[in-house]
Structure 1
Amino acid sequence: MTSNLDALLTALYVHLDDHVLPLAQQRPRPGRRRLLTDAELACVAIAQVLLGYDSERRWLRLAPARIGHLFPRLPGQSEYNRHLRDAAPALQAAAMYLVRALPTWHERLRLMDGTPVRCGASRTTVNRSGLGEVAGYGRDASHHAFYWGAKLLLVTTAEGAVCAFSLAHPKELDERKQALHLTHVQTLAPGPRPIVCDKGFAGAGIEAAMAALGHQLIRPTRGDEPEPGVKVFPSWLRQRIEAIIWTLKNQLGLERHAARTTEGLWARVCQRILALNAAIWHNWLIDAPVKRSLIAYDH
């Protein structure tokens, strides 16, 4: 099997259509039948972000020349946008299926971190945006800056595949509450796992709650702690999850999502995470030396 975008889309479509998103399980909907099935839409959406097209309108103008030999029927921009928003649960299910198919799913170690997803930079946007359900004012401690947007929390394997993720309002849920909610509603892995995180997850309450679930939090010690817990912290693991977040936000375009509604933002987050997991999954199939590399699929 070759390491290029066509091979990735072909292998992914076969797996999704056979095991995850078969046509027989899709609910009938009123109106005209859509041009793409959910499995086809997932592949087209992955190709969009891997090739670096942030604009859906521009992507659909160029898609026939790039992937038209694989998907000869492509919808217009409005139908593509509506279908992508409606198919967000299918994209999330596909991303979780792929991470469970990886050999590293059964490894014990997990990485966890949160990052802001900025949604606007003006007061007019705040007042008129349809993102009010999930977006609010928050502070990015890493960059010492305030922002208006949502908080994305990720739990990943050590190689970079996303095991669980959630979006939250930065004012309603801080990182610790969001992490507890995420571990209750999504499965991080079978059995207890040590989770590497940062100082923002410090606290007796969250550590006790995570311990009750079987997860041990490994974090750097704070200066005000009288009895530091972990004296030698694996800082290289923190750098790794920062690199994973950079891949999602810059290389896959999450920083330039251009979403205007809560449903659109969630669909774009699922689209980027599915693209990352799909690339890692395919790199395992072809035995690529670097599993998180996207170089073979971005041209």
Structure 2
Amino acid sequence: MQGALGPGHPLEVTGAELVCLAVAQVLLRFNDERHWLRCAPVLVGHLFPRLLSQSEYHRRLRGAGDLMEAAVRWLAARTAARHDTVRLWDGTAVPCGASRQTAQRSGLFGWAGYGVDKSHHRFCWGVELMLVCAPDGLVTGFALVNPKLVKERDAMRMMFAWEKNRPRPGATGVCDKGFAGAGFEAGMAQLGITVVRPARKDESDPGTFPHGLRQRVESVHWTLKGQLGLETRGGRVLSGLWARVLQRLLALNAAIWHNWACRADRKRSLIPYDHPTRLTST
């Protein structure tokens, strides 16, 4: 390729190409960057004039947080699910380490903390990812918080203070009983959001809570953690952790956007994208 284009330096990898490489890494289930870059020349090398070394890829990826965040939101704003008036929200733990030495020496001090991972019934050291999703799994709002310092209700208030994360007025937010509280529900009502949650033990249960719909946000967490590798520990500094999370959110939104575009029956299905030949054809 270089010889055909004439003498000079190899073509640089653009920001758009970097983001495409990052999404391909996640969709093809390469959680380790070194493993991915060893296989990338064979799997996707024909799609790019130049690939990055491991140090270049890691450095460029950490600096691409703003670009990936913009891409996540761009896809969310151009997918049909954005018109749905129902939003699902919840938090999920993102582990960043297991040992005491990691917690003491990590560059995530102040951001990460010990908290309860409700999905696995365990304590872990890491951050909590707050997600706002459409019923099909499209991510429309997100933030990272310290699980030890910020409660989930406070995290949602802070998220919705930023208009980009906030559902449109008239939306219905489906969540769990951890978001119960008259003050929280009144604050959401001021934003035009109706909170729907299960009844607490001290409340009468009308039996109208959509439990099946509530489970969808749990399945979105499973997709991010089980299929897209968010459960794997990584990110020793905030920029690296943020980029790692955004990689997964971007891959999920890209798949959902494409599934809507090609009228696939299952909007959150990643099966067409987890094999190199299929990824190339799409």
With structure 1 as the length reference, what TM-score do the two structures score? 0.85
> Whole-Å Cα distance in 2 between the matches of residues 178 and 37 of structure 1?
34
Aligned to 1:254: 230
Aligned to 2:188: 210
Aligned to 1:20: none
Q: Which is worse superposed, 195-204 or 137-146?
A: 137-146
Aligned to 1:3: none
The alignment status of 1:219 with 2:219, answered yes or no, reads no
> Whole-Å Cα distance in 2 between the matches of residues 246 and 102 of structure 1?
22
Query: How far is 1:257 from its partner?
Result: 4.2
Q: Percent identity?
A: 53
Tell me, yes or no, if the aligned pair for 1:106 and 1:190 is still in contact at 8 Å.
Answer: no
Tell me, yes or no, if the aligned pair for 1:105 and 1:189 is still in contact at 8 Å.
Answer: no
> Whole-Å Cα distance in 1 between the matches of residues 183 and 134 of structure 2?
25
Show structure 1 runs of 4+ deviating over 6 A: none
The alignment status of 1:149 with 2:149, answered yes or no, reads no
> Whole-Å Cα distance in 2 between the matches of residues 257 and 40 of structure 1?
25
Give per-residue Cα distances to partners, 1:142-161, cap 9 Å, x unaligned: 44321111011000000001
Aligned to 2:178: 200
Q: Which is worse superposed, 140-149 or 88-97?
A: 140-149
> Whole-Å Cα distance in 2 between the matches of residues 281 and 258 of structure 1?
27
Aligned to 1:7: none
> Whole-Å Cα distance in 2 between the matches of residues 288 and 137 of structure 1?
40
Give per-residue Cα distances to partners, 1:105-151, cap 9 Å, x unaligned: 01100100111111111111111111113100112344432111101
The alignment status of 1:188 with 2:130, answered yes or no, reads no
Tell me, yes or no, if the aligned pair for 2:97 and 2:125 is still in contact at 8 Å.
Answer: yes
With structure 2 as the length reference, what TM-score do the two structures score? 0.90
Query: How far is 1:289 from its partner?
Result: 1.3
- Give the aligned residue type for 1:88: G
Tell me, yes or no, if the aligned pair for 1:155 and 1:164 is still in contact at 8 Å.
Answer: yes
Q: Which consecutive residues of structure 1, in runs of 5 or more, have no partner in the other structure?
A: 1-31
Matches within 5 A, 1:123-142: 123-142=100-119
Q: Which consecutive residues of structure 2, in runs of 5 or more, have no partner in the other structure?
A: 1-8, 276-282
- Indicate the SS of the match to 2:173: strand
Give per-residue Cα distances to partners, 1:199-256, cap 9 Å, x unaligned: 111111111111111111110000023x55x641100011111111100011000111
Count of aligned positions = 266
> Whole-Å Cα distance in 1 between the matches of residues 141 and 127 of structure 2?
16
> Whole-Å Cα distance in 2 between the matches of residues 86 and 249 of structure 1?
23
- Give the aligned residue type for 1:178: A
Tell me, yes or no, if the aligned pair for 2:97 and 2:233 is still in contact at 8 Å.
Answer: no
- Indicate the SS of the match to 1:69: helix
Aligned to 2:280: none
Say what the alpha-carbon RMSD is for the aligned residues.
Answer: 1.6
Q: For the structure 1 residues 234 and 41, does the alpha-carbon distance in structure 2 shift closer, same or farther, using more than 3 Å as the test? A: same
Query: How far is 1:192 from its partner?
Result: 2.8
